[in-house]
Structure 1
Amino acid sequence: MDDQNSPERIMREMDWNLLRTFVVLAQARSVTDAATRLRLTQPSVSTALKRLENRVGKKLIDRSPGHFQLTDAGQVLYREAVDIQGSILRLSTLMRNMTDEVTGHVRLSLASHVICPLFNQVLAEFHAENPRATLSIDVFTSALAVETVTARSASFAICLVHQRNSKLEYKRLFREYFGLFCGPPHPLFRRKNLTRADLAGHSAVSFGTDRLQDALKPVTLMRAQAELGDKIIATSSHLEEVRRLIIAGLGVGPLPLHVAARDVRDGQLWQLPPYDQTAPIDVHVVWNPRAVLNRAEKWLLDRLLQRIEETPMDQRTYR
């Protein structure tokens, strides 16, 4: 007779719907929120959690009023369930790719406002050589973009990288440099011969990842050296919205130099010091080597990696 927690029994009796409910629970961080996302009642979600805990023989979530936390066993199961979910999500695409003429669908996860001529060139080649292939691009924070690759719900991601996951592969696509800017309503706009000291005391706007322990650490240091560190009054995870806040005059903010160049020419932005110590930030291609790629995904990823290898780094550096 099988032991209650034997791998064979768990494999035979595991219900994917229970795992799906658990993934949503872990991401929602409350039964109420999970029930809303799943369009179920709270008792149904609680019952599903109890059934899953009985199946695996472990407590998965510590719950009490005001407290909701995955146990160690819950953390392990969540990682594996996300991986399983990614495989299931990809089944329909893989089957379609085997049974009809569609070359395949590619789903990309990008950080906001990725400006990279090399990437644009590869997209043009992809469409020209695979006209029946389809493509969708979702814009996320860099952290969420990486999560979609881990879960295998995205073909690959182009984003900033802070902490590397040993299960994923990374390749630097390009390097961009961030400077500080202000908009027309700001008192420093169009002022010349400014020094870093002129920025002291002014309020700032920035990205949510503008922290010493995150991907935009060089930007954080640059801002701190201008004594803007404790005066962030507005943030966004999207570059377009940080740009909006700067142009509206809410404060001094960081932007990639090559992205801001047109707005500077058009009189919408004004670059501020430091001019010669701008912050370098690397943008990476991130993919999951465990994912089974369809023909279109493999073509696009392989061609992008090939172009990166063929193109010297100085031609992939935008100042």
Structure 2
Amino acid sequence: MSQHQILADRLDWNLLRAFIAIVEERSITRAADRLHLTQPAVSLALKRLEQCLQRRLVIRGAGAFEVTAAGEAVYREAIKISAGLALLNASLEEAEEDLSGHVHLMLVSRVPSPDLDDILAQFHARHPRVSFELEVSTSAEIHHALLHRRAGIGICLMSAPVLGLQRRVFSRQSYAFYCGRSHPLFGQNNLPVDALRDEPIISFTSEQLNDSLAPIAQFRRTHALRGKTIGISGTLDEVIRMVRCGLGIACLPEHAASMEVQAGQLFQLPPYEGVAQMESYLCWPEQGTLSASEEAFLTHARAHLRRQQARA
């Protein structure tokens, strides 16, 4: 019997599932917590997988953790298998004449609503049997979920292309600095940017030079805004809450801050032309792992965006 046949007959998917967790958590203990298993059970799963494949997959010891070249190759293939299994259930649900099934859409908070509202309403009118889950998360978590097939489609920020994902511009957003009513700068006009230099900052978790809100981090570095980071959140609503409560200043999307400004809760700070223009993207895995309902929704959303772009 060939090695290929042996693997096909004997390889247990649960061993690969444990290995994915080990690689992503870079720890047997954290992988066990994630899988709700005991540490010895996860260690045994790794040992059995290495015996089955006759390869060393992970090197551990003295605080070190290294995935071997063979381990990297197994991890890549295991992710593909995981995506295929996730698709299997969706495909079974949709094996009927009328389109049904489920669309798991992950999105950042406060996505500008007109386009998304129209896309959802029109798609539901055409395919009323398709159900939806809309999950709000950070851009980094959305990228990770799409790559690992824990969601089919996302709407998120992306400062640079992500290997393994395709994207199309969904909307453009302007970002500017704001403070709350109790802040000393509230109501002061014609301020220079230097007035913000030592002000406490409230930031998004993705406000890093190598993350989706990199333009904001770059602006802060360029203009030497050295105030202490007094609050941080991955959720727009919680960043706005901290600004409204007077903890510090934050760079917010103007469409999300506009109602708070009109209500007198927030006040725009310099630079008055804004800090950056950033694009949110409709994203999906480039590997063909979408279910029929997800494919239909993605096709509908992209067609809607093309029509909107043609009218602009």
* TM-score w.r.t. length of structure 2: 0.92
Q: Secondary structure at the match of 1:98?
A: coil
**What are the ranges of 5 or more consecutive residues in structure 1 without an aligned counterpart?**
none
Shift of 1:156: 1.0
Q: Confirm whether residue 174 of structure 1 aligns to residue 168 of structure 2.
A: no
Determine the structure 2 residue equivalent to 1:155. 152
Q: Confirm whether residue 199 of structure 1 aligns to residue 214 of structure 2.
A: no
Q: Distance in 2 between matches of 1:77 and 1:230?
A: 45
Give 1:61-72 correspondences, 5 Å limit. Answer: 61-72=58-69
For 1:287, which of 278, 284, 287 is the aligned residue? 284
Q: Paired residues, what number?
A: 312
Give 1:72-151 correspondences, 5 Å limit. Answer: 72-99=69-96, 103-151=100-148
After the TM superposition, which segments of 4 or more aligned residues of structure 1 sit over 6 Å from their partners?
none
Determine the structure 1 residue equivalent to 2:54. 57
For 2:213, which of 190, 212, 216 is the aligned residue? 216
**What are the ranges of 5 or more consecutive residues in structure 2 without an aligned counterpart?**
none
Q: Confirm whether residue 228 of structure 1 aligns to residue 189 of structure 2.
A: no
Shift of 1:134: 0.3
Asked whether the 8 Å contact 1:83–1:150 carries over to 2, the reply is no
Q: Confirm whether residue 19 of structure 1 aligns to residue 11 of structure 2.
A: no
Q: Distance in 2 between matches of 1:248 and 1:139?
A: 23
Shift of 1:256: 0.3
Q: Confirm whether residue 267 of structure 1 aligns to residue 291 of structure 2.
A: no
Q: Distance in 2 between matches of 1:235 and 1:279?
A: 20
Q: Confirm whether residue 39 of structure 1 aligns to residue 65 of structure 2.
A: no
Name the CA shift for 1:27/1:280 in 2 (closer, same or farther; >3 Å).
same
Asked whether the 8 Å contact 1:203–1:228 carries over to 2, the reply is no
**1:15-57 CA distances to partner (integer Å, 9 max, x unpaired)?**
1010011112222322222222323221111111011112222
Q: Secondary structure at the match of 1:311?
A: helix
Q: Secondary structure at the match of 1:215?
A: coil
**Percent identity of paired positions between Structure 1 and Structure 2:** 36
Asked whether the 8 Å contact 2:199–2:227 carries over to 1, the reply is no
Determine the structure 2 residue equivalent to 1:242. 239
Q: Secondary structure at the match of 2:282?
A: strand
Q: Distance in 2 between matches of 1:123 and 1:234?
A: 34
Shift of 1:225: 4.3
Name the CA shift for 1:314/1:181 in 2 (closer, same or farther; >3 Å).
farther
Q: Distance in 1 between matches of 2:240 and 2:12?
A: 47
Q: RMSD across aligned C-alpha pairs, in angstroms?
A: 2.1
Shift of 1:110: 1.2
Q: Confirm whether residue 189 of structure 1 aligns to residue 164 of structure 2.
A: no
Asked whether the 8 Å contact 1:148–1:154 carries over to 2, the reply is yes
Q: Secondary structure at the match of 2:86?
A: helix
Moved more, 159-168 or 231-240: 159-168
**1:198-244 CA distances to partner (integer Å, 9 max, x unpaired)?**
11211111112212222212212333344324522221111111111
Q: Secondary structure at the match of 1:190?
A: coil
Q: Distance in 2 between matches of 1:263 and 1:239?
A: 13
Asked whether the 8 Å contact 2:99–2:127 carries over to 1, the reply is no
Q: Distance in 2 between matches of 1:11 and 1:230?
A: 58
Asked whether the 8 Å contact 1:104–1:133 carries over to 2, the reply is yes
Q: Distance in 1 between matches of 2:226 and 2:240?
A: 18
**1:38-82 CA distances to partner (integer Å, 9 max, x unpaired)?**
232211111110111122222222222433332332223222212
* TM-score w.r.t. length of structure 1: 0.90
